[in-house]
Chains A and B, each alone.
Chain A
Amino acid sequence: MFTDLGHLAVIFAFAACLYAAVVSPIGAWRNDDRLVQSGRSAALMTFPLILIGSLGLWYALLTHDFGVQYVASVSSLATPVFFRITALWGSQNGSILFWCLIMSAFVAAAMLRDWDAAGDKPLLPYVTMTMALVLGFFLFLQLFLANAFVRYDFPPQDGRGLNPLLRHPGMIIHPPMLYAGYTGLLVPFAFCVASLITRRSDDLWLRSSRRWTLVGWAFLTAGLLLGGRWAHDVLGWGGYWGWDPSENKPLITWLIATPFLHSAMIQEKRGMFKNWNVFLMMLTFASMFFGTAFIRSGLLTSVHAFAASDIGPYFMGAMVVILTACAALWLTRLDVLRSENKLDSVFSREGIFLIQNVLFLSTAFTVFIGTIFPILSEAIGGTKITVGPPFFDQTAGPQMAALVALMGVAPLLAWGKSNGAAVGRQMLAPLIFAVAVMIALFAAGATQPVPLLLFGLCAYTLAQTVMEYVRGARARMRSMNESAPVALVRLAQKHQRRYGGYLVHIGVVLMAIGVIGKGFYGYDTITTPAVKLNESFTVGDYTFTYRGIRPVPCEFNDCQTIQAMLLVTSANDGRVLGAVFPHRDHYPVQQHTATIPAISGTFNTEVYVLLAAWEDGGATASFQVFINPLINWIWVGGIVMILGFVVCFWKAPEREAVASPAAARRVVGAGAPAR
């Protein structure tokens, strides 16, 4: 009953979207604020309505209402409460509803902001319209193509249970994070569209949506990280990233949203590259839609096997409409988006940002082409050709390394024009540091040239970024007479975006160190021949003694688990370090076997053990062992990136209400157009 109420609420939310999308522009056109406000309220209402819908589905999940098809497909009587809650996004139909819920939360938050104080009232009707249209599309999918509320005529006794792969904390938070990332980026997109429709040439849309962009970006980053952690812990690949289509999709969006964060600064500071920012924003949005279309259509097989369905063509249709509309809108506004300034020098902050931007885009393109190549090759040549990780490593890898290098140079360059000698002087100390690190690594036995150079690059960029804090704090100490810690904190407080951004850079470098370590020094092996009971084998610094296998009770009683016991001792001095229990879980209902690793080792060297096979009831067994050097730096780097975001975000910048310099200049020079 309550579930059907939820269904009804979602239908109302759809109606509210349509209403808001129609009424808002009419209000703007007729200059009737009541209509605009009415549209705003309607858009605002979608959140409580969809929340009721989600609560309805949650109610069905919690009460084991297997009459609802979706409930039967993602839960069973044995599914614990926690996973019945997260089952809301455990399969396609529910995940679309959940997506709508998060998107409507962003819509509602955007509607609730104080538009008068922010000075962007003229954008409101079109922001409302854009958001309502996009949300309406997803509600349309939910209601007409992938309805999560549909009931069986004859309810089954029990459900199928949640996909075993999705029972990991990383997988539980990962989809909401990604959804929040995508839908968060919808806000700047809506502002961009509104700005174009109202023929504005200023950077109001960038400034108004800046914090939303940051939020969306941070969620996307966190979602990617959690996805990697999930793959590492559950999929038994031995790594953190498999270049799977469903991983690549958010990565592509991230690779477009990140340069946007940077190039938006050029427009705010210098009033340049306006077209470029519009282009990047539209590309960000398009990549999200495009990726979703491809994954959901089942054209790209991936670990998210549940995603295959027939809503793909609708996505593609919507995509073509959106792209055409965006391009038309943009084309008719080209004259408005002319640059206000001349580029003084390539050797400047804006110059290097542009280079960074195109490198990001070519990396995104690389990932994109590798991801869709199976489809392209089948469509053109008739043979489907799979593209594995080696392709991405060899093509996207160097471009990412170049980006790390740019990160070490860009902060040194000033807006406008830089002084070469001064820049060179600033580079000296970090370069010396990098060389010292490389010599130390070489002495320690890291003699391969490529990783050595890459580590040196990371050391340089890291030192240079740290130096930014040192320089800033030192300047403050001198000019304001503050002690070092106070100066550092004040510095970050006063220039959140700048120093938060540098913290993100530090996180990226730490992550790069992890990627290089795992990529160049990681190795894996399989025990040959199979290990007999109580026999030992040694990998790296660790000796493993096989103590047998045993069946253990499965966590939720819907699988059969075979667990191997291995005693771990140090290969050097024979000290007992502990025991590891890699296991295999077989799920008869889902016909799925999960190979779950046991992870041990030190912070710098992870040892990742998988139970590969056994014979004669465990008389012999084989193990797959991965040595993952520095992989933990990736997670640490990720946490630092999120911290950097927090520094950027923690409170509203004091100057938020003040117009940007570009806008200030326009006010001064108003009435005297430059051209």
Chain B
Amino acid sequence: MSGKPLIVAGILLGIVAIAGVFAIALNLVSQQGARPKPGSPAPDFTLTLYPGYRAGLPEQIRLSDLRGKVVVMNFWASWCVECYKEADALEAVYRKYKDRGVIFLGIDYLDTEAPALAYLKQYDVTYPNGLDVQQRIARAYRITGVPETFFIDRNGVVREVTIAPLTEAQLIAKIEALLAE
């Protein structure tokens, strides 16, 4: 029967295709929730900062350009109730450390501009803030929601992740630990 090799090839191809889909799917499953672990390098990204929230930086900043500084990356959104709780603490600690080689980055997740700017104004935020366009940064860091805060050391390595609102004392402790290195 001349058709047999063809059928065999077709079926094998089908199995390979399905196995491929599974492999991809399994890969995704394993990636889900696998945010950069403490000790792994922080994925690089560029962030376009909101006008008025640039703290002397250029409009577009790249994480790798901040090498040599301790970076506190905070994912937030104006619709996020939990974020309100830590907004004052973040700003206060930023003001305290901004001249000591520490930079804060506010990354606005799934948010519209007007409420976001209103939020920043309401909490008198001065540290750099920008929109996570198309959720690219959130995906790279596999955040599970907002707020979520990443602490990155001077060598660009993720050292700690918190997924709950932070207090001033907690922030200071974590930053001091990184500065002490």
- Contact check, B15 vs A294: say whether CB atoms are below 8 A apart: no
- Contact check, A320 vs B11: say whether CB atoms are below 8 A apart: no
- Give the chain B neighbours of A316 by CB distance below 8 A: 22, 25-26
- Give the chain A neighbours of B22 by CB distance below 8 A: 316, 319-320
Q: Does B24 contact A (CB under 8 A)?
A: yes
- Contact check, A379 vs B24: say whether CB atoms are below 8 A apart: yes
List the B residue with the shortest CB-CB distance to A290.
B18
- Give the chain B neighbours of A297 by CB distance below 8 A: 25, 29
Query: Distance in Å from the Cβ of B13 to the closest Cβ of chain A?
Result: 11
Chain A's interface size range is 20 to 34
Per a CB cutoff under 8 Å, which of A299, A323, A334 touches B15? A323
Per a CB cutoff under 8 Å, which of B15, B24, B134 touches A383? B134
List the A residue with the shortest CB-CB distance to B14.
A327
Q: Does B27 contact A (CB under 8 A)?
A: yes
Q: Does B8 contact A (CB under 8 A)?
A: yes
Q: Does A529 contact B (CB under 8 A)?
A: no
> Measured between alpha carbons, how far is A299 from B1 in the docked complex, in Å?
42
> Measured between alpha carbons, how far is A160 from B32 in the docked complex, in Å?
27
Interface mask (A292-320 → B, CB under 8 Å = 1, otherwise 0) = 00100101000000000000110010011
- Give the chain B neighbours of A299 by CB distance below 8 A: 25, 28-29
- Contact check, B8 vs A331: say whether CB atoms are below 8 A apart: yes
Q: Does B34 contact A (CB under 8 A)?
A: no
List the A residue with the shortest CB-CB distance to B11.
A327
> Measured between alpha carbons, how far is A380 from B21 in the docked complex, in Å?
11
Q: Does A261 contact B (CB under 8 A)?
A: no
Q: Is the interface of B mostly helix, strand, loop or mixed?
A: helix
Q: Using a Cβ cutoff of 8 Å, how many contacts connect chains A and B?
A: 49
Total number of B residues with any Cβ neighbor in A under 8 Å: 20
- Contact check, A379 vs B134: say whether CB atoms are below 8 A apart: no
Q: Does A324 contact B (CB under 8 A)?
A: yes
Considering residues A312, A323, A376, which has the most beta carbons from chain B within 10 angstroms of its beta carbon? A323
> Measured between alpha carbons, how far is A275 from B29 in the docked complex, in Å?
35
- Give the chain A neighbours of B19 by CB distance below 8 A: 320
Q: Does A375 contact B (CB under 8 A)?
A: yes
Known: A297-B29, A312-B29, A379-B27. A323 touches B18 (CB 8 A): yes
Q: Does B177 contact A (CB under 8 A)?
A: no
Interface mask (B41-59 → A, CB under 8 Å = 1, otherwise 0) = 0000000000000000000
> Measured between alpha carbons, how far is A319 from B8 in the docked complex, in Å?
20
Q: Does A524 contact B (CB under 8 A)?
A: no
> Measured between alpha carbons, how far is A421 from B14 in the docked complex, in Å?
42
- Contact check, B28 vs A313: say whether CB atoms are below 8 A apart: no
- Contact check, B15 vs A327: say whether CB atoms are below 8 A apart: yes
Interface residues of B in 16-40 (CB under 8 A from A): 18-19, 21-22, 24-29
Known: A327-B11, A330-B11, A383-B134. A378 touches B18 (CB 8 A): no
Known: A331-B8, A334-B4, A382-B139. A375 touches B15 (CB 8 A): no
Query: Distance in Å from the Cβ of A145 to the closest Cβ of chain B?
Result: 14
- Contact check, A334 vs B7: say whether CB atoms are below 8 A apart: yes
Interface residues of A in 312-358 (CB under 8 A from B): 312-313, 316, 319-320, 323-324, 327, 330-331, 334-335, 338
Known pairs A378-B28, A383-B134 / 11 extra A-B pairs, C-beta < 8 Å: A297-B29, A316-B25, A319-B18, A320-B22, A327-B11, A327-B12, A331-B11, A334-B1, A335-B1, A375-B24, A375-B28
**3 smallest A-B Cβ distances: which pairs?**
A379-B24, A316-B22, A327-B11
Q: List 17 A-B contacts (CB under 8 A).
A: A294-B25, A297-B25, A297-B29, A299-B25, A299-B28, A312-B25, A316-B25, A324-B15, A334-B1, A375-B25, A375-B28, A376-B21, A379-B25, A379-B27, A379-B28, A380-B24, A383-B134
